[in-house]
Amino acid sequence: MPVWIEPTDLENAYVRLMPLQAAHCQGLNDAAADGALWSLGFTSVPRPEHMQAYIDHALQQQTNGLALAFAVLEKNSGRVLGTTRYCNVDAGNRRLEIGYTWYRQSVQRSGINTACKQLLLQHAFEHLSASAVEFRTHWHNHRSRTAIARLGAKQDGVLRQHMIMADGSYRDTVVFSILNSEWPAVKSNLSGMQARHSGATHEH
């Protein structure tokens, strides 16, 4: 079967999504240090000593056709802001998940996430002809659940005791999705969100 997900650069006026490489390790460490993201609950941001292994695993998943990870770069400066990826790729059914997303604390709530999701969703639906795109998060991560719903994704259900966390606790995973038939409305919503973020940026 031909490879469905090929490495590609995606960019708009705010961000550039570049296929993740080993050379991004220091940039990601700098981003993770902005807010000590590895210490926050419900996240899977690696500590500096684990970042290279994190990247290596992502690249192995890419080789296996199961993921495509990106470094998120600030468009004008080229500074690494964080990372995101297509994961749980199901080429046969043309489904994938957007996950493993985190950004340096100083750009959170700035519109960067909206800009990234717009690029990833547009590429998935308009270039890859995806049938559906999923999002998953921890049941107790209310901030993440709210953010996913604001994109226009609908909740499919909850996978109870879906994962065992590093501390031994169980994670109930909330699953959301956007279908290809819903993409036009979601695209319009994201454009409106991006315009509002842009207006707020220009006001300050």
Please, what is the average pLDDT of the chain? 92
Task: Please report which helix (H) or strand (E) contains residue 174, including its range.
Answer: strand 170-179
Residue spans of beta strands (DSSP E) within the chain: 10-11, 15-19, 68-74, 80-90, 95-103, 132-138, 154-164, 170-179
pLDDT, tens only, 85-132: 999 999 999 999 999 999 999 998 788 999 999 999 999 999 999 999
What architecture is domain 10-203? 3-Layer(aba) Sandwich (3.40)
Q: Which of 174, 14, 21 is nearest to 83 (CA)?
A: 21
pTM of the model: 0.92
Q: How far apart are CA 178 and CA 154, in angstroms?
A: 7
Q: Residue 204: which pLDDT band, with cuts at 50, 70 and 90?
A: very low
Band the pLDDT of 199: cuts 50, 70, 90. Answer: low
Both tokens of 3, joined, read 């490879």
**What pLDDT is recorded for position 181?**
98
Distances (CA, A) of 189 to 51, 110, 186: 34, 17, 5
Residues in the chain: 204
Provide the pLDDT for residue 110. Answer: 83
Q: Does the pLDDT at position 1 exceed 80?
A: no
Confidence of residue 201 (pLDDT cuts 50, 70, 90): very low
- Domain ranges in the chain are 10-203
DSSP 6: -
pLDDT digits (tens, 9 = 90+) for 144-180: 999 999 999 999 999 999 999 878 899 999 999 999 9
pLDDT of residue 2: 66
For 150, phi then psi, to 5°, come to: -65, -25
Q: Which two tokens stand for residue 35?
A: 């807010």
User: What angle is formed at CA 53 by the lines to CA 49 and CA 55, rounded to 5 degrees?
Assistant: 115
